[in-house]
Amino acid sequence: MTTENESPTPRQLPDGVDPHLTFLVETINLYGDATWDVTLTVGGLLISGKMISGREWYQRQIDALATKNADLDMWPTATFVQFRDMYKADEWPSDDDDQVDEQSLPDVPPTTIHLADAFIIQSTTHANVGLWRGLLSSVDGYNFGLMQNGKAE
């Protein structure tokens, strides 16, 4: 808690984590229906896809488990439900509401980024991986848009 004469301490991000990408991930996690096309550079790989909320990522995993493994013991699904429910599911602010600001963000910044319809590009190899999850601390760079045919679209 701060007094009137103190300024709030900014949330600390791990070294090397981009604050702008973190803010975008937090915003998408807060308002789960949002998506954003992004291409990430991770350890020499290009990973491109639609950024989705952690809640949506886990829900899609749950749906895939239920569809493909009807006879599977339910513990993986139950565990994924618990992880899914850790993410807040709000709606985008209306035109009358203030924009997302630091006050509406969780106390602990996210550590992971989630993509749907993801594909990985390395040299001449292009692999579709579907759902992808990675550490924000491993992202070396990013740009908005999907990488297609060697260029961002």
Strand partners, 13: none
pLDDT of res. 8: 40
Average pLDDT over residues 2-16: 57
- Long-range contacts formed by 59-67: CB under 8 A, 24+ apart: 59/84, 60/116, 60/131, 61/131, 64/131
User: Rounded to an integer, what distance in angstroms lies between the CA atom of residue 45 and that of residue 125?
Assistant: 10
Q: Which two tokens stand for residue 95?
A: 């035109």
Looking at per-residue pLDDT, the higher value among 133 and 5 belongs to 133
Report the pLDDT value the prediction gives residue 33, as an integer from 0 to 100.
81
Whole-angstrom distance, CA of residue 39 vs CA of residue 119: 9
Q: How confident is the model at residue 89 (pLDDT cuts 50, 70, 90)?
A: low
DSSP per-residue codes, 6-38: SPPPPPPPPTT--HHHHHHHHHHHHSTT--EEE
Per domain, the residue ranges of the chain are: 30-148
Q: What is the predicted pLDDT for the residue at 13?
A: 76
Which residue is associated with the tokens 């991000």?
A: 13
Give the DSSP per-residue string, 116-148: EEEEEEETTEEEEEEEEEEEGGGEEEEEES-EE
| Predicted model pTM | 0.76
Share of residues in the chain with pLDDT > 90 (%): 38
